[in-house]
Amino acid sequence: MRLSTVAAAAGILLPSPMPVAAQSMTSTEQELLLHAIDAARSAGADYADGRIIRTQFEAIGAREEMITQVQSSDAYGINVRALVGGSWGFSATQTMTRDAVADMAREAVMIANANNEVAPSETILAPVDVFPDADWVTPHSVDPFDISLEDKAALLLRINEEALRVNNIRFSSSSILSVKEERLLATSEGSMVRQTLFRINPSINITAISPDGSDFQTRGAVVEPAGRGYEYVMGLELASRAEGWAEEAAMKLEAPPVDPGKWDLVLHPSNLWLTIHEAIGHPTELDRALGFEANYAGTSFIYPPEDVIGKLQLGPEFMQFVGNRTEFGGCATTGWDDEGVPAETWPIIEDGIFVDYQTTREQAAWISQYTGITRSHGCSYGQNWETMPFQRMPNVSMLPGEEDLSEDDIIGNTDRGILVEGRGSYSIDQQRYNIQFGGQVFWEIRNGRKFQMLRDVAYVGRTPEFWNALDSIGGASTYYLGASFGDAKGQPIQVNAVSHGCPISLFRDIDIINTA
């Protein structure tokens, strides 16, 4: 009750609007996909699913007064994942003929057979409702691919021009990356799901050089990617704000270095979202916790499930985190996942206590005896037509406080602290204990007020102690959705886009180092 009440007050996690654009996948493509699924089943697959995916990118970039990049890409193909015994096999092809896709499906079954013979295993898929004719489109009002390159170029050049007006600013680069994914999913259980996903990533990086050439400082990460249309970029007012970001870059040249030691830390959501990604999002991935990422992304300190679910106190009682694939503007927001599981929202940390992981159909049964949940949370995703779907992070967000504290209220509660804005250098160990995060802009807080800019700041700590040092959080008016297009995991490595919302937050007595 409490979670949903707070979420509704914040205006987030609302049910997704209805589709607003037509899907482009045709009945011919549906038939081809079903043909592949049939071929896999005929070859001996106990279960099969497949996808036809078209991924389009468009990137335009500018540096100072020139356009440096105009590029688009279009990748299109079909894949099948087949289950034989308890083993998976996967294959994909970009040759969209009936013979080629049938061969591809049989190869997936052949690989599954080979794996099952060498190392047999058991796989139980969680139950899922069948959706024989489902549609979903990212809510948007302007398709980014409908905006001309000229208009985008003009915006970028104006941003750079505004930034370069400021003293000591020597370089300014800016770019807009637009993504459109058209995905058709079919399962041997009878689901057929058509989706079109939009994401957009405006980016600006400004460099100041000291007059004597002895130092340089940058200001980047000024705005966030989003799972939205081009109306999002138009609403950011990038050109009119560029001068302000440039002034911050120039100020960093003059800012005194931080004194290392214990400081109170006010994390603006533009910085905190990445800490959430690394220190809540990743350790609550179930595959990671159970060793499936041991050879790359690592394992998790939130382990073993029977000892931590409903028991591990990770923060104060007012600390609430949800996983969701429903949040408006979220980069991981969707209608259904890559296994045909409908998007949902669920608690991950409730009243400061860890209560659940992120799951796929294969994983749900592994912990259902501790969570009481037998269905998948819908976290399956494959990056494109040639990649096998697996468990990927949904949006993982911290809910704002019940009391609507403002940024000024939070800073006002800080006698000696540092306000950190924007994501900077970030690194965390393979079990998500040891954190070291930087930022873009650092403000010393004295007696409840921003006093002066500092530089070369990073905060370090041990994750459980860090979250338990959370003192207070802002209300719904401070809620902000940060995001990354580059969440990497898996072998072969796959990239996932994901968002994290949070309010401004105050942490007490955090170790600060000087990175110079």
Partner 1 sequence: MAEQKGLPSDDLKSISDRIIQLSQADHCRVNIDSGWRGYTRVATNRITSAGGADSTNVNITSVFGKRVASINTNSLDSSELEAAVRQSEIMARLAPESPEYVPELGVQSYQPVQAYYDSTGELDPLTRAEAAAIAIQQAQASDQIAASYMDVQAGTSTVATSNGLYGSHSNTGVAYTLTSRTVDGLQSGWAGDEANDWNNIESQRIANDAVRKCASWRKTRLDPGKYTAILEPTAVGMLMLRMRNAFNQRTADEGRSYFSKPGGGNRIGEQLFDDRVNIYSDPTYADAEVSPFTSEGQARGRQSWINSGRVEDLARSRFWADQLDQQVLPGPSNLIMAGGDNSLEEMIASTERGVLLTRFWYIRGLNPRIISYTGLTRDGTFLIEDGKVSRPVTNFRFNQSLVEMLQNVEMMGPAVRVAASENSSVSTPIVVPALKVRDFNLSSVSDAI
CB of 427 to partner 1, least distance (A): 5
Residue 111 vs 312, nearer CB to partner 1: 111
Residue 368 vs 436, nearer CB to partner 1: 436
CB of 462 to partner 1, least distance (A): 7
Residue 53 vs 331, nearer CB to partner 1: 53
In the chain, the largest separation of any two C-alpha atoms, in whole Å, equals: 73
Residue 100 vs 134, nearer CB to partner 1: 100
CB of 291 to partner 1, least distance (A): 5
CB of 429 to partner 1, least distance (A): 4
Residues 6+ apart with CB under 8 A from 506: 264, 265, 266, 267, 410, 413, 414, 417, 470, 471, 472, 473
Distance CA 70, CA 64 (A): 15
Cα→Cα distances 473→284, 311, 412, Å: 22, 23, 12
CB of 2 to partner 1, least distance (A): 32
Residue 209 vs 453, nearer CB to partner 1: 209
Q: Do the Cβ atoms of 312 and 302 come closer than 8 Å? A: yes
Strand (E) positions, 251-352?
A: 261-267, 321-324, 345-350
Lookup: tokens for 58: 């468009």
Residue 129 vs 151, nearer CB to partner 1: 151
Residue 238 vs 405, nearer CB to partner 1: 238
Distance CA 77, CA 102 (A): 13
- Residue matched to tokens 């930022």: 439
Q: Do the Cβ atoms of 387 and 460 come closer than 8 Å? A: no
Question: Phi and psi of 223, rounded to 5°?
Answer: -135, 175
Residue 53 vs 341, nearer CB to partner 1: 53
CB of 262 to partner 1, least distance (A): 14
CB of 140 to partner 1, least distance (A): 22
Distance CA 498, CA 281 (A): 10
* Residue 414, number of CB atoms within 10 A of its CB: 23
Distance CA 38, CA 105 (A): 9
Distance CA 357, CA 346 (A): 9
Q: Do the Cβ atoms of 49 and 184 come closer than 8 Å? A: no
CB of 269 to partner 1, least distance (A): 21
Residue 213 vs 235, nearer CB to partner 1: 213
Residue of 484, 482, 445 whose CA lies nearest to 270: 482
CB of 258 to partner 1, least distance (A): 13
